[in-house]
Chain A
Amino acid sequence: MASAFRLQCHCILIFLAALKGETRYLEARGAGEDEPFLLLSADLKRELSGRQLYHRALRCIDMLSVEGQFTFTAEQPQLHCAAFFIGDPEELITIDYDFVHIDCQGGDFLKVFDGWILKGEKFPSSLDHPLPTSERYIDFCESGNIRRSIRSSQNVAMIFFRIHEPGNGFTFTIKKNANLFPCNVISQTPTGTFTMVIPHQHRNCSFSIIYPVVIKISDLILGHLNSLHFKVSCLFVS
């Protein structure tokens, strides 16, 4: 009787975990990434969680792939600055303004862009992103008092800023959150494997690499139409 009851409890927990999508989250974590930490006691985990936040100065042109707090202080007028943010494919970027001291009336600006934009070309493209281009820019001078925490829609984001007065600047904190079903991804590395799962959504998704690479698509499932299941296996070699 007791073993039957235990079995019922296990079934209930597994069912609830599956409904919440936790299985996908566990699959998204790399093998052996956090496994050693599971063996630590609760005391050790608490001690590790009390570590200070990583902090460094932000450069005019910078790329950030770690969590932490970053401060930019203009030593001279900085008119053309941008910082790129990139995380793992299964992560979203969250930007929290901790301190901002800029002169919006004097021509300074601080804008977050949901994605990357280079030479006018956007990633994700306008066809793939759920928001129009104008809404992908979040201007601190217009909405700074309302939106002090901004989350990206994919694993990349960037900020543009211009500061005329030396001494002005800002501080923000970068955090990363899990994205169970990433749709638009920029890969940080030129090697590796990635599986994109798009559960029952009618949307365009993309996976980009900014290195010259050979891409091999090992398996491709296109869903079903009229109860017919389509499956295509392709191999591309460049």
Chain B
Amino acid sequence: MKLQLLVSTGILLVALLPYHECRALGKSPPAAAGAPLPPDFLQPPPSLPVLLRMGEEYFLRLGNLNKSPAASFFASSSSRLPPGAPATNFFRAAVQQLQQLPERSLESAAGPGEGEAESLPREAMEREKRSEEPPISLDLTFHLLREVLEMARAEQLAQQAHSNRKLMEIIGK
């Protein structure tokens, strides 16, 4: 009876003690210790024809939709990527298009308040500027978003395949 009571108490203590979640297995990234991943694994997936036809521009919006155009970035017309642009240069080309736009700093969007805040300490002034700034968002189309999501999923599948390959190698030892 005493033994049963002790065993029951032990089980309750073990069950109630906090534990750390063990995630030895799962979708963790692969690679053996010290061995670099093969270059093809790190490269983005092969280009898709639809990527070459994409020309939507995207912008880092510093204002909300109701703000005047002076506080946000817009392009007058959409541009097209060069027909021969490979998928690996997709992001580089898209970013280059962004950087061709006139630069508008956060300070210019909060310009009218600078005169009144000159007496405040610099750190408090910067904090006040940031709190007055409209939320930052990205003017990315859903089409582009789906494309980058597909690339991310392809990367995830490639990583899972690499992990499975490593697992089979370990099991085969």
Interface set of A (CB-CB < 8 Å, partner B): 5, 8-9, 12-13, 16-17, 34, 37, 40, 44-54, 56, 59-68, 76-82, 84, 86, 107, 109, 111, 113, 117-122, 133-134, 137, 139, 142, 158, 160, 162, 176, 178, 188-189, 210-211
Contact = CB atoms under 8 A, between A and B. Distances in A.
Contact of B31 (A40, A47, A54, A59): A54
Contacts of A45: 24-25
B86 interface: no
B137 A120 contact: yes
A134 B8 CA distance: 51
B28 A67 contact: yes
Interface of B: 4, 7-8, 11-12, 15-16, 21, 23-35, 37, 42, 58-61, 64-65, 73, 91, 94-95, 98-99, 103, 105-107, 127, 130-131, 135-140, 142, 145-146, 148-149, 151-153, 155-156, 159, 163, 166-167, 170-171
Contacts of B152: 63-66, 84, 86
B8 A12 contact: yes
Main secondary structure of the interface of A (DSSP, over half): mixed
Given A52-B31, A137-B136, 14 more contacts: A44-B171, A48-B24, A49-B23, A54-B30, A54-B37, A61-B94, A61-B148, A65-B149, A66-B159, A79-B103, A107-B106, A119-B61, A139-B130, A211-B146
A45 B28 CA distance: 12
B95 A78 contact: yes
A45 B170 CA distance: 10
A105 to B, nearest CB: 8
A37 B32 CA distance: 18
A44 B31 CA distance: 15
B65 A120 contact: yes
Contact of A189 (B8, B153, B159): B153
Contact of A48 (B60, B155, B170): B170
B29 A66 contact: yes
Contact of B99 (A80, A107, A111): A80
A16 B15 CA distance: 7
A189 B30 CA distance: 23
B113 to A, nearest CB: 17
B95 A60 contact: yes
A137 B130 CA distance: 11
